[in-house]
């Protein structure tokens, strides 16, 4: 599963691919419609779509002569479940932690001197 998550997060790291995923939230789209709002070639958008497809975040199918893209939410669910594991911890109050350390740790003058060997 770790390799799969690596691929998913690598795909999500690019803002163009995130925008494509946001567009596909609405509905399936033809590749040409996906490419329309971007100021890049159809070939460049196709490379982004290929990476999203390999990551499992989207699927593509040919309907007649048109290639369609569809969001695959299960891949996003895997990443979401993994990230939710980090939300189970309380945020650390660094000021309180510093005060705790000040009371528990000896000051520099209280430390014993070390002799050189």
Inform me whether the pLDDT recorded for 115 exceeds 80: no
Structure tokens at 91: 């945020």
Q: Read off the pLDDT of residues 16-63 as tens digits, 9 standing for 90 and up.
A: 999 999 999 999 999 999 999 999 999 999 999 999 999 999 999 999
Domains and CATH numbers, the chain: 2-79 (1.10.10.10)
Which burial class, exposed, middle or buried, applies to 92 when counting CB atoms under 10 A from its CB (0-12, 13-18, 19+)?
exposed
Contact of 49 with 34, CB cutoff 8 Å = yes
Query: Which pTM was predicted?
Result: 0.70
Structure tokens at 94: 């660094």
């Amino acid at each position: 599963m770790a390799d799969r998550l690596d691929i998913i997060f690598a795909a999500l790291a690019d803002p163009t691919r995130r925008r494509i995923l946001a567009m596909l939230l609405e509905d399936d789209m033809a590749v040409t419609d996906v490419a329309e709002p971007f100021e890049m070639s159809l070939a460049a958008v196709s490379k982004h779509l290929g990476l999203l497809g390999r990551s499992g975040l989207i699927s593509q199918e040919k309907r007649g002569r048109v290639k369609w893209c569809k969001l695959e939410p299960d891949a996003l669910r895997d990443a979401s479940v993994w990230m939710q594991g980090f939300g189970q911890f309380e945020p650390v109050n660094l000021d309180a932690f510093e005060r705790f350390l000040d009371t528990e740790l000896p000051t520099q003058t209280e430390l014993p001197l070390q002799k050189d060997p």
